[in-house]
Structure 1
């Protein structure tokens, strides 16, 4: 049987078996890692036939890539430049940050989503090039384009890249630090209103820094 290549961007799974496989695989890949996880335990957890992985995805690697994409929202307006051409760079930036934070810690997101991405970065799998190409690179490029437009600089400039990495770090922190919050901020609850306040804070805080960078000009790197 020919290998089924997952689409470039995720579409909502309509087949119950496919959905069950994605959810079961996400939890197992996040907990055990790509190498240690087996198709047998994934299909057992999904209550599916062991051949269903080959049928729906092609092989374990293709399933893993599909799981990573499944962890993202089905629509990603902030990544589509054509939907934001009439918006100011500030509004585009704020929309991007809100979408990204919701992707990472929004209500209804399985806890394994952020754990899976953290594991992929710490312990890269053979899927990393595809994960970068299909999942990470589009976001990174879009964020640099927005920041470059705001600063009036090339998205490839060092200052734009510094700024983009600073923004990403702020957003990712809230996902990766979740195990710490019960100890250092016991009253914190990552419900929908709180997630919105976090995203708005990151956007305002970062825009203040970007305004300072724009005022200083290209010649200033500090």
Structure 2
């Protein structure tokens, strides 16, 4: 038997087509530069489809942003389990931020990080903020603190920023020193090294926190 052909875009439900085309167009040009009419035309649906499925353009955008955040939450499930070592927990937390597969969601989030919209900030505060709070509490626990202080929160953000920058700046890094990551296409070794640095920095904060 021959393998079944993947469904054509037109075979997808209208709601899924709207989300896919909105993600692509918003990622390419930003929220303000894309009209609902363009999205509906690209998805091959009637102009009232966005109102029917999402209420309005803002509602569509919230759903477009929610999908990759939901995927991230699933990928990070259990990263702070107490049976894991600090190194393994850091590695699990950083791994999703290290690999940019060129998907439309990556383009969209990169654009939003440069010029965040109110809808994006609401999504980050509601859905992403708690993940970073858990990461900070994990680092604080291994540093011997009951609660994370400002330095631990900064460390949590700094580790994620390093991971994210490796993914977003990969073309530039490869142009400077192509040999550095030639044997690490998915940045798995890099993730391990970042976890090494994270453990060292947690130990540093632990020593700073000890009473003199």
TM exceeding 0.5: yes
Is the deviation greater in 42-51 or in 86-95? 86-95
Q: 2:96 aligns with which of 87, 95, 99?
A: 99
Matched, 1:22 2:33: no
Matched, 1:173 2:170: no
Is the deviation greater in 21-30 or in 201-210? 201-210
Unaligned runs of at least 5 residues, structure 2: 1-11
Q: 1:69 aligns with which of 62, 66, 71?
A: 66
Q: Deviations over 1:51-93 (max 9, x none)?
A: 2222222211121121122224275252457x82433333322
> Residue 65 of structure 2 contacts residue 120 of structure 2 at CA under 8 Å; is this kept in 1?
no
Matched, 1:217 2:208: yes
Indicate the structure (1 or 2) with the bigger Cα radius of gyration. 2
Q: TM-score, normalization: structure 1?
A: 0.75
State how 1:182-201 maps to structure 2 within 5 Å: 183-186=175-178, 194-201=186-193
RMSD value, Cα: 2.9
Displacement of 1:114 after TM fit? 2.5
CA distance in structure 2 between the aligned counterparts of 1:50 and 1:80, rounded to whole angstroms: 42
CA distance in structure 2 between the aligned counterparts of 1:219 and 1:86, rounded to whole angstroms: 24
Displacement of 1:144 after TM fit? 0.6
Q: TM-score, normalization: structure 2?
A: 0.78
Q: How many residues align?
A: 199
Unaligned runs of at least 5 residues, structure 1: 1-14
Is the deviation greater in 182-191 or in 200-209? 182-191
- 2:127 is matched with which residue? 135
Residues 85 and 18 (structure 1 numbering): CA distance in 2 closer, same or farther, change over 3 Å?
farther
